[in-house]
Structure 1
C-alpha cells in the first residue's frame, strides 16, 4: 500500500487520468481484534470469579467451620468442667456430712483416738479415690514431711482457713510423682459454732481422669490445669489426643482449676456447613460470567473490527477519489491517524455487560445462589431415609447404621424439641445408655433439639428410670428422651420418649415421623446444661425404703447401664452386694441384656448359689425391667413377683386396682382379688400399661417381661431398681427366705415366652388371620392384645411383638399333659396359616 501511495505523490512521475487501486490488505501476523477482546474480557472475568470463589470459601466454609468447631470445643470443655465441678461438689458434701456427724464431734471433744480412727477408717473406705483421711483437733496441725501424704505449708494454710471457717478450695500438689488433691472441712460445735477441729482428705487426682475422658475420647485433647492468681497454669491430668485446632479454656467452678480442650480430627469431622453449596453456586455463576464475558468479548471485538473495516473502506474510497482527481495524498492527513481502542464508542448495552455502568448490579445472581443453597439443603435432608418400621408401639427403635443413624437422631431431635415446646416445655431432659453408638446418637439428637430453640438438660449415662425420675422431680421439664434400645441386641438403638410427663402412645410415636416428613419444625438456638441426677435418685429411695436386716444380693447388670448405679444404690441401702457383669461394655460380651431369656439367667443362678446370697437380681439393658432368682436357683418371673407386691400394697390400700398384661399367670387375678384388690388385664408394653394405670388410678402394675410399675410411695413408672428395693424390703420384714415366701403362692406348669421369628411386615397380619380362622373350641377368647384362649384347665397366647420381628407365645396349664395339649393346638392352628413357621421347642422345656 505504501508503494501505491508513493506512486500517486511522486512529482517525477506522470499522473494517469484515472486510477483503479485494490483495497488494503491486513498485514500477516497481526492479532485479530476479536481475539484480543475475548481474551481481555475472559481474563477480567476469571480474575473476578477467582476472587469471588476465594471470598465465599473463606466466609462461608472456613469461617463457619471454625465457628462451629469453636462452639463444639466450648461445649465439650464446659461439659467436662461441669462434670468435674459436680464430682468435687459431691465429695465436698460427703466430707462436710462426715464432719457434721455427732459421734465424730463427741470423739473429737473427748479426744478419743480409738473412736476417731474407727470413724476415719470407715469414711475412707466409702470415699472413692481417698488416699488418706485425717482429723486434726483445732491448733494441733504441724509441719511433717516424714509422713505420707506430708503436711506442708500449703496443707497448714488450708487447715487454717477451715479453722477460721473461711472458704478453702481444693488444691492439688505433686508428691512422689503423683498428683494429690487436698480438701478440708471444719468440725463445728452445734451450739456455739466453734471449730473443734478439721477433717482433711487427700485424694488421688487420677479419680478425675474418667471425667475428662467421658464423651471426649477420640474427639480431642482435654487437660485439667491448676492456676492461681500468680504463676503459669500447671497440668494435673491430660487425656491424650491429636489437637488440630486452637484450645478452648473453661474454668471449673469453685476451684483453682480450668479445663483446656483442643479439638482433634474426629470432632472436626463433625463440623458441617452448607458453604460448599454456596461455593458451588458461586462457581456456577462464575462459569456463566466467564462464558458471558467471552460472548461479549466476541461481540465487542466484532464491532471494533467492523468499525475499523468501515473506516478503512471509507478512507480507501477517499484515496480512490483523490487519486482519480489526480491529487497528491499525504499520510499526515487526519483520515490516516490511528485511534486507540479506548477511543471506540461503546453502546449503552455494552457498558452494562462490562459492568462499566455504575448503576449496573447483580441482584438476580445473588438470589440464584441463595435458591441453590436452599434447594441443596432440601435435597440433602430429603435424601435421609426415615424408615416407617422404626416408629413402634412404645418407642423409636431399629438397627444402628441401617435404620438408626446420626442423621435420623438429628431429625428426631428436631421433632421432639418442637413437640416439647408445643406441650409447654422449653427444655428436654436427655439421657443415654451404655451402647457403643449411644454417645454419637446423643450428640446429634441434642444438636437437633437445640436447633429448634428448645434447651437441653443432659443427665448423662444413666438407666431409663432415672430419666423418668428427672421428669417427675425436676422443675426444669416434664419431658425427656432416652437414647436406648432397652433389652435388644448390641447392634440396635433408639429413643424412648416422655412428653409432658406422659409416655408416648403408638399414635404419638408415629406422629413424630409425620412431623419430620411435613417439616413442622421450629427454629432457634437452645442451650445445653448438665446435671447429675444420681445422688437425688439414691437419696430419695434411701429415705423411702427401710430394711429390717442384713440382705445379701447378687446383681447382674449384663454389662449395661444399670451397672453404673445398681451396686451403689443397694450398698447404700445396707445390702451386701456381689456385682456380676456390672462393668460397662456396650457390646454385651457375656450375654444379651434381656432377662426374660432363661439362658441369660444361668450365670446369675450359679453366682447366687456360689456365694449363698438371699436373692439374685437381673436387670435389662436400660434398667426398667427386673427378673429375680431365689437362693435355690428358681426363677421368679415378674407375674409371680406381682403376687407378692399386690399382697403387700393392696393390704394397705384396700380396693386398689392392679393392672397386669395378657402374658401373666391366671393365678395373679385370684391373688389380687383375695387380697382385696381389683384385677385389670391389659395390653403388653410399658406405654399402654402406664396409660391404663393413669386412667384407672391403679397403685400397682406389671407385665410378664419384667416392667413393674409402683405408684404406692413412688411415681408409677417402670423401674427395675426401685422394684428390687421394695422386694428386698418385704423379704427383710418377713424373716423368711425368698423360696419360703413364694411357696405360699399358687403355681402351675407354664412356659417362658416362646419367640417365633417372622417377617416384621407380616407379624400382625398372621395374628389377625389366626383370630379369624383359628379353631379353638369352646375356650374364652380375648383379643385385647393378640389372641389369648382360656380353658378350664389352662390358657394359651399368641401375640405380635411390638419391639422385634417375632410372634410371642406362652402357655400355662394345670398339669404337664394339658400344657402339651395346649401347645400342640396353637402350633397346629398357626401352621394352618403359615406352614413355614419354625418353633424352637427348647424354649418350652
Structure 2
C-alpha cells in the first residue's frame, strides 16, 4: 500500500537515525510531565486546603448567625412576656393561682420551653430543686442587673436559661421571669444549616474555674481542616467549626492558574522539541548536500540554454511546461465563493424557527401556551439550560411546576431536554416558586433550578423562571437563550438521572424554627386557586395560626378570580371573609406563591410597599446602615422611613429578577416591590417568598400586639392609586416609552429613567413604564392629597395622549 504521507514517513525515518535526539526528546517530555505533576500536586493541594478553610469559615459564620438569631428571637419574645400586663399583675398581687396560670400561659406561648417561673423576691422553689444557676440569674435580676442567657446542665440535658425583670409602671422590680428552654431546636437548626457530614460544630461556654466547656456538639469523627472559632452575641459563648475530610474533598479549587502554568510548560517543551528536531534535520541536509557535491564539467549542462548552428537560442530545456501555472486552478475548476444566508441572526430580536422572540422577557420567559410555548420549546430550553449549568460546573438542575393545566406537559419536555445532555434532574413536583428557591439553597447537590410558571398571568399563559447559583437570569442572559436553543451540536451522552424529592417538611421546619409569633391569631388565606395554598396553610398552622383557607384548592383555570393580588377586584372575597370571620389578618398570594398582599381586620388593603415599610422598620433596627431596596413603583414614604431608622434607601428597577440580583449583590437584608415580591436576606435566603413574608408579618404583629390598622396608623398617610394598566400592542410598548422620554414632557419635575419614566414633584409623583409580563403600559401615582393626585394623573394623561391619542386611563 502506498504511504498517504511520504514526507512524514521520511521525517520519521530520519529521526530514527538519531538515538541521542530520541533520548533527549524522551527525557524532555518526561521532565515536563514530572514538573507538571509536582506543580499540580503542590498548587491544587494548597488551593484545596485554602478553599476548604474558606468554606469552613463560611459555614462557621452561618452557624454563628443562626445561633445569634435563635437567641435574639427567644430574647425578644421573653422580654415581651416580662412586660405583659397579666404577668405584672400576677407578681404585684402575689396571687398564687394567677401566678400558676401565667406560668402555664408562658409554656403555651414559648414552644421550646421546658420550665418557666414567675419568681417573687425570696422565693425558694429554685433552691428546693437545686437549680443554682437559676437562683444566681434571679439574684442578678433583683439586684438590677440584666444577665446574659446561659447554658446550664439540668439533670442530664443542657438547657438555655433566660432571666428578665418584671416591673410595675413606676419601674420597681416585682420579681423575675425565668425561662428554661430546650437546646434541641437550636441543635436541629444548626444541623439543617450545615450538613454534619461537613464537619464538627461545637458551642462552648466560658465557665469560671472550668474554662471553655462544650454544651452543644454536632460531632464528626473526621477532622481534616483547622478549627474556625467565632464569638457569638453572648460574651461567654464561642462557636467552633472543624471541617471534615468530606469538606476537604468537596472543596473544588479553580484550575485556571494551574492550566496557565501547565500550558506554559507544554509550550516551552514543544518549542524545545521542535528546535532540537529542526537542528538535527538541518544538519543531515547539510551533510548530504556536501556529500553529493562534484566538480562542474567543462560542457554546458543540458538544462541550460544552448546555441544552435544558426545562432538562435533554444530556451525550452527539460522542464518546459504547457504554459499553465501549476498553482492556478484549472480553467473548468469551480471557484470558492462567499455565501450569505438571510436566516443568519444572532441578536435574538426576530423569531427563529419555533422559538418566538416575544416570549423572552426582561426577567423570565413567558408567553401563550400552544401558540408561543410548546413542548418542543421546553425541550430545547432544557438542553440550553443544562449546557449553561455544566459551564458553571453544575450537573444537576432542580425543577418544579405550578398548578396551571399546561404545566405538567411543559415540565416533562423540559426535564427530557435537560437529561438528554447527561445533566441530572431533581424533580420537586407541583410546588410554589419559593420552595424551588429554597431547594437551591438547602440541597447539597446543586444551586440551579427552573420553575415552570406564569406567576400571576391568566390561565392561557405559562413560562419559566430560571435561577443559577443564587442569581435570577434576566436581561441579556434571557435574550441569549433564543440563540442557544437553536444549537444542535450536543454530544451523544447517556441520559441524566431523574430523582423525585419532597422537601416541603424541611421548608416548613425551617420557617417554623425561625419565626416565633408571640401569640395565636386568626388568618384568612386566599391562594387564588394557585399552587401555594396547601403549603402556605401548613406553614401558618405550624407557627400557631388559626387558618381559614379561601380558594386554596389548586385549579389551573382560576375559576374564582385571577391569581393576581395587586388587582383590588381580586381581593373582594378575601375582604368579606376577613370581616365575616372577625379575623385578625387576610393574606393573598399569587399563582406561584412568591407575591403577597395583606388585608387588615377592618378590610383595608395593605399594599406591598406599605408592608415593606413595616418590615423595614423591624429589619433596619437590627442592621443599622444597611441597604433596603425597593422598586420604582413603590411609595416614596420608604425613603424617609428607612433613612429615619438609620438605613440607606435604594430605588431599583421593577422585576423580581432585577430585585433579587440587586439584593444579593448589595447584601441588603430586605427588599421589595409594589407587585408583591418581598425579599428577606435577614434570617432567610434573599429570594422572594410570599409565604415567609406572611410569617414575618404575623411575628411583627404579635410581638407588637397591634393589628395592621394600628401599625399603619403610625406611618404618614398618602393618597395613592393601585397599579393602572393600559393595554397596548406588545411590539409598541417600549417604543411608546421612548417617544415620551424624547419629548421631555416633565421638565418641571425630577425624572428617573432606570425603568420607564418616574417623575417626582414636591407634593406628588407619577410613573409610566412598559410591563415586562404582558402587552401593557403600567402607571402608578401617589400624592399628599386627592387634589394633587388628580393633578398629576391629569398631567400624565395629557402627555400620553400627545404621543398617541388612544392612550387613556
Partner SS for 2:486: helix
Does residue 389 of structure 1 match 2:393?
Answer: no
**Partners of 1:555 and 1:740 in 2: CA distance:** 21
Provide closer, same or farther for how the CA distance between residues 520 and 742 of structure 1 changes in structure 2, counting only shifts above 3 A.
Answer: farther
Note the residue ranges of structure 1 that are not aligned, 5 or more in a row.
Answer: 1-189, 192-381, 840-845
2:551 is the alignment partner of 1:560: no
The equivalent residue for 1:460 is 429
Deviation at residue 777 of structure 1 after TM alignment: 3.7
2:706 maps to what in 1?
Answer: 736
- Say yes or no: does 1:432 pair with 2:389: no
Q: Deviations over 1:769-813 (max 9, x none)?
A: 101104224200111110011000100100001111000011111
Superposition map of 1:192-591 within 5 A: 385-519=354-488, 521-524=490-493, 525-591=495-561
After the TM superposition, which of the residue ranges 688-697 and 392-401 deviates more from structure 2? 688-697
User: Does residue 792 in structure 1 map to residue 759 in structure 2?
Assistant: no
CA contact (8 A) 1:457 1:531 kept: yes
Deviations 1:267-308 (A, max 9, x none): xxxxxxxxxxxxxxxxxxxxxxxxxxxxxxxxxxxxxxxxxx
Shift of residue 484, structure 1, vs aligned partner: 0.4
For residues 643 and 523 of structure 1, the distance between their equivalents in structure 2, rounded to whole angstroms, comes to 54
TM-score by length of 2: 0.56
2:518/2:703 contact within 8 Å kept: yes
Aligned match for 2:637, one of 656, 661, 667: 667
The equivalent of 2:687 in structure 1 is: 717
Counterpart Cα distance in 2 of 1:617 and 1:574 = 15
The alignment status of 1:615 with 2:590, answered yes or no, reads no
Match of 1:803 in 2: 773
Deviation at 1:505, TM superposition (A): 1.9
CA contact (8 A) 1:430 1:457 kept: yes
* C-alpha separation in 2, matches of 1:679 and 1:414: 40
- Structure 2: stretches of 5+ with no match in the other structure: 1-155, 158-350
Contact between 1:793 and 1:813, CA under 8 Å: does it hold in 2?
yes
Equivalent-residue separation in structure 2 for 1:510 and 1:609 (angstroms): 46
Q: Is the 8 A contact 2:530 2:554 kept in 1?
A: yes
Per the TM alignment, residue 747 of structure 1 is displaced from its structure 2 partner at its CA by: 1.8
3-state DSSP class of the match of 2:467? strand
- Report deviation, 1:737: 1.5
Which of 796, 799, 802 aligns to 1:829? It is 799
Give how far 1:533 is off: 1.1
Secondary structure of 1:809 counterpart: strand
The answer to whether residue 771 in structure 2 is matched with residue 817 in structure 1 is no
CA shift, 1:707, in A, is: 0.3
The partner residue of 2:576 within 588, 597, 606 is: 606
For residue 550 of structure 1, report the CA deviation from its aligned partner: 1.1
Considering only CA atoms, is the larger Rg found in Structure 1 or Structure 2? 1
Which residue number in structure 1 is paired with residue 663 of structure 2? 693
Quote how far apart the aligned CAs of 1:518 are: 3.4
- CA distance in structure 2 between the aligned counterparts of 1:564 and 1:431, rounded to whole angstroms: 16
In the TM superposition, residue 384 of structure 1 has moved relative to its aligned partner by 5.0
Shift of 1:647: 0.5
CA, structure 1 residues 497+520, in 2 after alignment: closer, same or farther (shift >3 Å)? farther
Instruction: Tell me the SS of whatever aligns to 2:485.
Output: helix
Moved over 6 A (4+): none
- Secondary structure, aligned partner of 2:541: helix
**Shift of the alpha carbon at 1:522?**
4.8
Tell me which protein shows more helix as a share of its residues: 1
- Do the aligned residues in 2 keep the contact of 1:417 with 1:449 (CA within 8 Å)? yes
Distance 1:521 1:680, change over 3 A: farther
Residue pairs, 1:42-191, within 5 angstroms:
none
1:765 Cα offset (Å): 0.7
SS in 1 for 2:499: strand
Return the offset for 1:519: 3.3
Q: Is the contact between residue 384 and residue 408 of structure 1 (CA under 8 Å) also seen in structure 2?
A: no
Give the Cα–Cα distance (whole angstroms) in 1 for the partners of residues 389 and 806 of structure 2: 45
Which moves more between the two structures, 482-491 or 564-573?
564-573
Q: What is the number of equivalent residue pairs in this alignment?
A: 460
CA distance, structure 2, for counterparts of residue 518 and residue 736 of structure 1: 58
State TM-score, norm by structure 1.
0.54
